[in-house]
C-alpha cells in the first residue's frame, strides 16, 4: 500500500498531493484491482471447472468457443448474463432483494485486502489479518439470508436457511483449524504467517506437526462447506430440484452471486496455501522464485483439489452435514489445537 | 464409541479411494466424437437415406409397392420394352427407413446410403427427385457430395469402440464348431 502511494506520488504532476488524497487514491485503485482479480477468477475458474469436470467424466467440456478448448466460453457466458432482463418479483421485498447480492459480493471482495502476494505486496498490512478475513467473509451469510427472504419464495427461503446454517456452522472448524498456526507464529498478521514458513518445504506449516497436517485437511473440508461447493452444496443444488436462494435472480444480480462464488473459491484456496502451504515461498529454497506467481500457482492447485473433490463425492444430506461439523470436525479441530500446543511445548518451540 | 472412529476412518478412506479413481479418468481419452469434424464409422448395413442410381433402375415398381408408407413416387411412359421412367421421387417426410425397398430390388440400384445428416429448412426440400436435374437435391454418397461442394472433410474418423467379442459363450454351449462371428 505504501509502495502504491509512492507510485502515485511519482506520477507527473501529482507530487504535491496531500496525504489524504494519496491514501484515498491508492485505496480506490487497490479496490479496483481486487475487483478485477475477482472478475478474472470467475472467468478463469468457470472455464477450468467445466474442463476439469469434463475430463473427469471422460468427455471434453467446452471446445468450440474460442480457438483452443473453448477458452472464450466464460466470456461468452458473462456477455449472456449481462444481457438478460432484470426481473424483480412483484411481491418481493425490493430493498432487500437489491441489497442481498451486494452484501454477498462485498463479503467476498473485502477479504482480498489481507492476502499477501509477495514480501511487500499486500493491500492492507494490519496485525489482524487472518481474523479480519474470517470476520468479513461472514457477511456472505447475511447476504444469502437476505436474498432468500426477499425472493418471496418458500424454497428460496429453505435454501437460504440451510445455507446460512451450514455456513455459520462451518466457520468454527475453519477458524479453529488455523489456530495452531497462529500459535506457532504468534501473530495474526498474514505476512508474518507466510514469513514464518521460509526455508523450504519442510518448514511449511502443513508438515511441521502431525496435528497441523490434520488441521490442514480440516481447514480444506470446512472451506468447501463455506463456499457452498462440492459435496456440501445443499443450498444451491438440493433446491435446484425446486428452487434455491438465488432462483429469482437474473442478469447482473445473478452474476454477483456467480462472481462471488468463484472469488470465494479462489480466496479460500489462497488462504489455505498462505497459512499451510508456504505462501509465496518456493518448495526448494534456492530456486529462482517469482513470489506472486508461486502463490497463485499454489492457489490454482488448491482450486484443482477442490474441483476434484466436487466431481468425485456425492452430495451430503443436511443432517449428515450438521453431524459432520458439530460432532466430528469441531472435536477434531479442538484436538488439533490442544495437541499442537502440547507438541510445541514439548519440542521447545513455544518460547515459554 | 468405536463406531464413531470407524465411521471417520471409513469416510476418509472411501473418499480417497473414490478420488483416486476419478483422477485416473482425467488422463483417459474422452469418448466424445466431435461432430462434424469427427464422424462415427458406421456399420456396413447402416440404414441411412435411400439412394437410387437411376442409371441402373428399370422402373419395375417393386420398391414402390413394397413401401409401407408409399413414399416412392414413380412415373413412367411407354409400354413394354419402351418403358422409361420420367419421375422417380422419394418423399423423406414419409420414409421410415425400413429398407424394404432395397431388399427386393433386382438390379441393385436402390440402396441405403450411410448418410444421416440431411437437415433442411423446408419440408418440400425433403422430397428427393432423383430424375430431375433442375431440382438440386443433397446427394448421397461421399464422392458426389464432394463434387457438389457439400462435404466437410472430417479430420479423423474414430472407429466405434469395438464390442467385446461374444465368442466364449457359443464355444461353451455347443460342442459344434461355431462359424466365425460376423462383424
> If DSSP states are collapsed to H, E and C, what string results for A34-102?
HHHHHHHHHHHHHHHHHHHHHHHCCCCCCCCCCCCCCCCHHHHHHHHHHCCCCCCCCCCCHHHHHHHHH
| Percent of chain B whose predicted confidence (pLDDT) is above 70 | 72
* Residue keyed to cell 436457511: A161
d(CA A39, CA B107): 67
What was the pLDDT predicted at A198?
Answer: 86
* B166 min Cα distance to partner chain A (Å): 26
Mean pLDDT of B141-158: 61
Q: pTM to 2 decimals?
A: 0.82
Chain B positions touching A59 (Cβ under 8 A) are: 30-32
Instruction: Mutation target for B interface from A48, A53, A54, A58: give the one with most B CBs within 10 A.
Output: A58
Give the residue numbers spanning the domain of A340.
89-346
Chain B positions touching A331 (Cβ under 8 A) are: none
Give a yes or no: residue B134 inside a domain: yes
Using the beta-carbon criterion (under 8 Å), do B22 and A63 form an inter-chain contact?
Answer: no
Name the residue among B62, B50, B30 with its Cα closest to residue B99. Answer: B50
* Residue keyed to cell 485416473: B24
d(CA A221, CA A327): 14
d(CA B19, CA A231): 13
Longest dimension (CA), chain A: 65
Q: Is the pLDDT of residue A25 over 50?
A: yes
Of A319 and A241, the one with more pLDDT: A319
Using the beta-carbon criterion (under 8 Å), do B28 and A313 form an inter-chain contact?
Answer: no
d(CA A19, CA A11): 15
Between A128-132, A177-181, B44-48, B168-172, the lowest mean confidence (pLDDT) is in: B168-172
Q: In 3-state terms, what secondary structure has residue B139?
A: coil
* B153 min Cα distance to partner chain A (Å): 17
Q: Answer for the pair B88, B73: CB distance below 8 angstroms, yes or no.
A: yes
Q: Give the strand pairing for B72-77 and B50-52.
A: unpaired
Instruction: Mutation target for A interface from B20, B21, B25, B37: give the one with most A CBs within 10 A.
Output: B25
Is B8's Cβ below 8 Å from some Cβ in A?
yes
Using the beta-carbon criterion (under 8 Å), do A312 and B15 form an inter-chain contact?
Answer: yes
Is A60's Cβ below 8 Å from some Cβ in B?
yes
DSSP label of A201: G
User: What total of structural domains would you count in chain B?
Assistant: 1
Task: List the CATH number of the domain containing B70.
Answer: 3.30.70.3270
Between the alpha carbon of residue B4 and those of residues A37, A168, A214, A328, B11, the distances in Å are: 43, 24, 17, 9, 11
What was the pLDDT predicted at A6?
Answer: 73
Q: In 3-state terms, what secondary structure has residue A225?
A: helix
pLDDT bucket at B135, cuts 50 / 70 / 90: low
Give a yes or no: residue A23 inside a domain: no
The predicted complex's ipTM stands at: 0.79
What was the pLDDT predicted at B171?
Answer: 40
Give a yes or no: residue A149 inside a domain: yes
Using the beta-carbon criterion (under 8 Å), do A58 and B23 form an inter-chain contact?
Answer: no
Give a yes or no: residue A243 inside a domain: yes
Chain A positions touching B15 (Cβ under 8 A) are: 309, 312-313
Mean pLDDT of B99-108: 91
Instruction: Mutation target for A interface from B32, B38, B158: give the one with most A CBs within 10 A.
Output: B32
**Rg of chain A taking only CA atoms, in angstroms:** 21
Give a yes or no: residue A67 inside a domain: no
Q: Is the pLDDT of residue B183 over 50?
A: no
User: What total of structural domains would you count in chain A?
Assistant: 1
Give a yes or no: residue B20 inside a domain: no
* A56 min Cα distance to partner chain B (Å): 5
What was the pLDDT predicted at B169?
Answer: 42
Give a yes or no: residue A239 inside a domain: yes
The CA-CA-CA angle for residues B111, B125, B107, to 5°, reads: 20
What was the pLDDT predicted at B119?
Answer: 79
Give a yes or no: residue B175 inside a domain: no
Give a yes or no: residue A44 inside a domain: no
Q: Answer for the pair A317, A325: CB distance below 8 angstroms, yes or no.
A: no
Give a yes or no: residue B124 inside a domain: yes
Mean pLDDT of B40-56: 85
A47-69, pLDDT tens digit by residue?
999 999 999 999 998 988 888 88
pLDDT bucket at B153, cuts 50 / 70 / 90: low
Using the beta-carbon criterion (under 8 Å), do A313 and B15 form an inter-chain contact?
Answer: yes
**Rg of chain B taking only CA atoms, in angstroms:** 26
Using the beta-carbon criterion (under 8 Å), do B34 and A52 form an inter-chain contact?
Answer: no
Mean pLDDT of A103-128: 88
d(CA B171, CA A81): 60
Is A287's Cβ below 8 Å from some Cβ in B?
no
Of A243 and A296, the one with more pLDDT: A296
Is A122's Cβ below 8 Å from some Cβ in B?
no
- State the sign of the Cα–Cα–Cα–Cα dihedral A159, A160, A161, A165: positive
Q: What is the DSSP string of A102-131?
A: HHHHHHHHHGGGG---BTTB-S---TTHHH
Say what angle helices A73-82 and A251-275 make with each other, to 10 degrees.
140
Is B25's Cβ below 8 Å from some Cβ in A?
yes
What was the pLDDT predicted at B35?
Answer: 76
Between A238-242, A253-257, B64-68, the lowest mean confidence (pLDDT) is in: A238-242
Is A320's Cβ below 8 Å from some Cβ in B?
no
Q: Answer for the pair A262, A42: CB distance below 8 angstroms, yes or no.
A: yes
Give the residue numbers spanning the domain of B118.
50-148
Q: How many CB pairs under 8 A join A and B?
A: 36
Chain B positions touching A63 (Cβ under 8 A) are: 34
Give a yes or no: residue A209 inside a domain: yes
Give a yes or no: residue B127 inside a domain: yes
What was the pLDDT predicted at B152?
Answer: 64
Between the alpha carbon of residue A247 and those of residues A61, A79, A304, B83, B84, the distances in Å are: 25, 20, 27, 70, 67
* B115 min Cα distance to partner chain A (Å): 24
Give a yes or no: residue B126 inside a domain: yes
Give a yes or no: residue A13 inside a domain: no
Task: Tell me: cis bond preceding B18? Omega within 30 of 0 counts.
Answer: no
Give a yes or no: residue B155 inside a domain: no
pLDDT bucket at A125, cuts 50 / 70 / 90: confident
A272-292, pLDDT tens digit by residue?
999 999 888 988 888 888 888
d(CA B24, CA B43): 31
Between A11-20, A150-159, A188-197, A230-239, the lowest mean confidence (pLDDT) is in: A11-20
Task: Return all residues near B48 (Cβ < 8 A) that are at least 6 apart.
Answer: B42, B97, B112, B113, B114, B115, B116, B140
Amino acid at each position: 500500500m505504501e509502495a502504491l502511494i509512492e507510485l502515485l506520488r511519482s506520477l507527473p504532476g501529482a507530487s504535491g498531493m496531500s496525504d489524504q488524497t494519496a491514501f484515498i487514491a491508492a485505496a480506490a485503485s487497490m479496490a479496483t484491482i481486487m475487483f478485477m482479480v475477482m472478475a478474472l477468477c470467475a472467468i478463469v475458474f468457470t472455464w477450468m471447472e467445466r474442463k476439469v469436470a469434463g475430463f473427469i467424466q471422460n468427455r471434453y467440456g467446452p471446445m468450440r468457443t474460442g480457438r483452443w478448448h473453448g477458452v472464450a466460453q466464460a466470456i461468452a457466458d458473462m456477455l449472456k448474463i449481462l444481457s438478460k432482463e432484470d426481473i424483480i418479483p412483484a411481491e418481493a421485498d425490493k430493498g432487500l432483494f437489491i441489497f442481498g447480492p451486494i452484501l454477498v459480493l462485498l463479503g467476498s471482495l473485502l477479504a482480498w485486502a489481507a492476502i499477501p502476494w509477495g514480501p511487500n505486496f499486500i493491500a492492507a498490512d494490519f496485525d489482524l489479518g487472518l481474523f479480519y478475513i474470517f470476520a468479513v467473509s461472514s457477511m456472505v451469510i447475511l447476504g444469502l439470508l437476505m436474498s432468500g427472504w426477499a425472493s418471496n419464495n418458500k424454497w428460496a427461503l429453505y435454501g437460504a436457511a440451510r445455507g446460512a446454517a451450514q455456513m455459520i456452522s462451518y466457520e468454527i472448524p475453519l477458524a479453529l483449524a488455523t489456530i495452531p498456526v497462529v500459535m506457532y507464529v504468534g501473530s495474526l498478521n498474514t505476512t508474518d504467517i507466510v514469513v514464518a514458513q521460509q526455508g523450504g518445504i519442510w518448514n511449511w506449516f502443513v508438515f511441521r506437526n502431525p496435528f497441523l497436517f490434520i488441521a490442514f485437511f480440516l481447514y480444506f473440508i470446512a472451506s468447501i462447506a463455506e463456499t457452498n461447493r462440492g459435496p456440501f452444496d445443499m443450498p444451491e443444488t438440493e433446491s435446484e430440484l425446486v428452487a434455491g436462494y438465488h432462483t429469482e435472480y437474473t442478469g447482473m444480480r445473478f452474476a454477483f452471486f456467480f462472481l462471488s462464488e468463484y472469488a470465494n473459491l479462489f480466496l479460500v484456496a489462497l488462504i489455505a496455501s498462505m497459512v499451510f502451504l508456504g505462501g509465496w515461498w518456493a518448495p526448494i529454497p534456492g530456486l529462482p522464485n517469482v513470489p506472486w506467481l508461486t502463490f497463485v500457482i499454489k492457489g490454482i492447485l488448491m482450486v484443482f483439489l477442490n474441483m476434484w473433490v466436487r466431481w468425485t463425492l456425492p452430495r451430503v444430506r443436511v443432517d449428515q452435514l450438521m453431524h459432520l461439523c458439530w460432532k466430528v470436525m469441531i472435536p477434531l479441530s479442538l484436538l488439533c489445537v490442544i495437541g499442537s500446543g502440547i507438541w510445541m511445548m514439548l519440542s521447545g518451540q513455544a518460547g515459554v | 464409541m468405536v463406531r464413531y472412529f470407524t465411521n471417520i476412518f471409513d469416510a476418509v478412506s472411501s473418499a480417497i479411494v473414490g478420488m483416486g479413481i476419478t483422477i485416473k479418468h482425467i488422463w483417459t481419452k474422452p469418448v466424445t466424437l466431435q461432430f462434424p469434424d469427427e464422424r462415427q464409422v458406421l456399420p456396413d448395413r447402416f440404414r441411412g437415406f435411400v439412394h437410387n442410381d437411376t442409371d441402373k433402375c428399370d422402373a419395375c415398381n417393386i420398391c414402390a409397392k413394397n413401401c409401407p408408407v408409399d413414399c416412392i413416387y414413380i412415373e413412367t411412359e411407354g409400354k413394354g420394352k419402351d418403358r422409361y421412367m420420367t419421375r422417380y421421387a422419394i418423399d423423406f417426410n414419409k420414409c421410415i427407413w425400413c429398407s424394404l425397398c432395397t431388399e427386393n430390388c433386382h438390379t441393385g440400384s436402390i440402396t441405403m446410403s450411410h448418410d444421416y445428416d440431411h437437415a433442411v429448412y423446408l419440408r418440400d426440400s425433403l422430397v428427393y427427385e432423383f430424375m430431375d436435374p433442375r431440382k438440386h437435391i443433397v446427394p448421397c454418397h461421399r464422392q458426389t457430395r464432394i463434387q457438389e461442394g457439400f462435404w466437410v472433410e472430417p479430420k479423423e474418423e474414430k472407429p466405434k469402440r469395438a464390442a467385446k467379442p461374444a465368442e466364449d459363450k457359443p464355444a461353451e454351449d455347443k460342442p459344434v464348431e461355431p462359424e466365425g462371428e460376423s462383424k
